[in-house]
Amino acid sequence: MENWRMFVDFLMISGMALLFLISVFLLKSKTDFSKKILILFFINAFFFLLYYYAFIHRAKILGGIAFLFGNGTGYLLGPALLFYLKALVQPKRKTLKPFVKHLIPFAASFVLISIPVAYSIFSEETTAYGKAYAGIADYLNLVENTFFIVYILLSLRLLKRIQKACENHYSSLEKNNLNWFGVLVIGLLSIIVLDSLFSIYELFAPVYSWNIGTIIAFTFIALYSILGYKGMFQAKILLPDFLASEPEASTAASFLESDSKKAYTGRLDGLPDTEIDQLIQKLQTILEQKKPYLSDSLSLTELADEMGINNKELSELLNKHLNTSFYNLINTCRVNEFKQKITQSENEKYTLIALAYECGFPSKASFNRVFKQQTGMAPSKYKNLHQNLSDKKVKLS
């Protein structure tokens, strides 16, 4: 039992130390607004872990301090997650005021719950308030968790929209890969749902001698580590205004409108079919003759400039008239280019990855992933299959 307690202490202290170091690093470095949101996230998370550390050791004063600044975690972390994503694609002037408005529930929880209950922990004069809080704590936890879950779902919706916008602007998604954020949010959602189920259980059944919050705290340590490592090094995602723009509204649901008809105003809708066909032909000619996709950093704007139209018109042409995204179009061209290169005898001396780089793929990982998605097999298997077919043709001839 003693060894288990020492292990628990080690995890708690390690988690708090990690959160503290990350917060100090972000505070001392020159950071953009998205990183400042992370600072709030980690500071609150530090006190959240501190509260459960104090609970285990029955440290009254430490618990009161931790409860004061760590209570209402869902009311803070929910908006923090959502607006961290928004800050990656939007300037601070469009993010700060809405973020502050979304923190009103957290401010209310701090004033009405955190301060009085923390004070009741210190003082014997207000134990009635503390007892009243203890009687409804599970209900309040369910309300907070529901609030958090709503923001998690909104974050997932916004993440999907950002990923779609990146596909419409970038030919490579490695630098703007937010899959780690999706894993983080799904992990948080699982934990919050589990915590809610235990809160419901405790409303109708005897309370366990151990606290589920301690287990929740352990799982948070791992998720905070992911957010800390990935979040600190995640660069802003630069998108054209028409892809990154969102309605100027204060509610979470309103600015997450993802209707593609609102994303594109239909500048090409008024053109006759012959002019649309001419634009498509021009695009095909540029791709076949100039092969701009051989540049691993090709963007929607660069290709639009090559065509003599703006990026919004090119995006509309691809999405509405060719039923594809910029990312899929360019990588299809790269895959086809690679297929041609491996059939040429002068390229036999080169490795597959060397040929992939020549075709515009930025890395081995992206090449393997895209090639397998489009052909259903690994590049090496495709090459062997092609070689076998070539050998058979030679024998037949």
- Structural domain spans, the chain: 2-256, 269-396
CA dist., res. 233 & res. 229, Å (int):
7
Q: 3-class SS at 264?
A: coil
CATH among 1.20.1250, 1.20.1070, 3.30.70, 1.20.120 for 2-256 = 1.20.1070
Q: Can you give the pTM of this predicted structure?
A: 0.77
Question: Sorting pLDDT into bands at 50, 70 and 90, what band is 75?
Answer: very high
Q: What confidence score (pLDDT) does residue 243 get?
A: 62
Question: Tens of pLDDT along 28-49?
Answer: 777 788 888 888 878 877 887 8
46, 20 contact by CB (below 8 A): yes
Question: Sorting pLDDT into bands at 50, 70 and 90, what band is 262?
Answer: very low
Name, in order, each residue with C-beta under 8 angstroms of 5's C-beta and a sequence gap of 6 or more: 56
Mean pLDDT of the chain: 82
In the CATH hierarchy, which fold is given to the domain comprising 269-396?
A: Arc Repressor Mutant, subunit A (1.10.10)
Asked whether the predicted pLDDT for residue 336 surpasses 90, the reply is yes
